[in-house]
Amino acid sequence: MSLWNMILAEAKFVYADLFRRKSTLIMIIVYPYILTLFVVLIGYAMGSRQVFIERTGAPPEVFFITAGFLLISILGVSDDLLWRPHFELWMGTLQYVLISPLPRIYRYIAIPFPRLLIVILIGATSIVPVYIYYYGLGGLVEGAAVILLALISGLFFTTPIMVLIGLIYGVGGESWRIINIVRPLLMILLGAYYPRYLMPLFGRIVSYLIPSSHIVEVIQLMIIEKLDVLYALSLIGIATALFILYAPIGVKSIDYWETKKLREGIR
């Protein structure tokens, strides 16, 4: 089976499950609105909308709908990668996956691509309407740019997640509790809701090591209208370099875990 056939098989699995559970599809679409409503209502109760605009340069509705979209777009891709070994173990298919002749890395390369198309759907139903409302037809162009950057951000998050898979499953004893600790930390360190410049020094250093956090910063600079082209290109270049750097490490990490699993057996 080729990589292309693997991607098609993964796409059929994802979209069939999504359309079978229409409530999940609806929740994916409304999730950015729910997060925005929750945060904005708390903000209105505790402070002034105008003060937020003066300090950030963007209306809170625009800032937080973008943050919600980025969060679900990036973590929506990474969650399936992180949880896939546990999912296959619980479904009783892990042993068949491990002994299949398909190159192991193909499975993890195929996982993100069908989900990236869902990112386009989320963006078209969340940030695009809000941007058009606030910025007119110019918001359509800005929304398309943000969706494109979100796609890149989701893709760039795959290689560090592959490294984490090797660490969590190969070294960490395959504990699902570790994943539940790592996920909230990733949500913060991406900088979607909590910008990097507000983080303490250690948090900023760790955030700089995450490729997607650089793309998130580019998007935030875009919506507050402080985007410098050269600085944005440098951030995208750093994100690309980190993505490439983590790729061989991620492949080795997954190979280590799967080889260890084949040697120990599935309990």
Going from the C-alpha of 115 to that of each of 33, 119, 176, 231, the distances in angstroms are 20, 7, 22, 29
Going from the C-alpha of 231 to that of each of 2, 192, 235, 245, the distances in angstroms are 39, 18, 6, 21
pLDDT, position 227: 80
Domain range annotation of the chain: 3-264
Judged on CB neighbours under 10 Å (0-12, 13-18, 19+), 248 is exposed
pLDDT, position 240: 93
Structure tokens at 121: 């759907």
**Grouped pLDDT means (10 residues each) for the chain, 267 residues:** 81 85 84 88 80 80 90 81 77 76 77 86 91 89 91 85 74 68 82 83 89 91 86 93 89 80 70
pLDDT, position 236: 93
pLDDT, position 157: 83
pLDDT, position 16: 87
pLDDT, position 29: 86
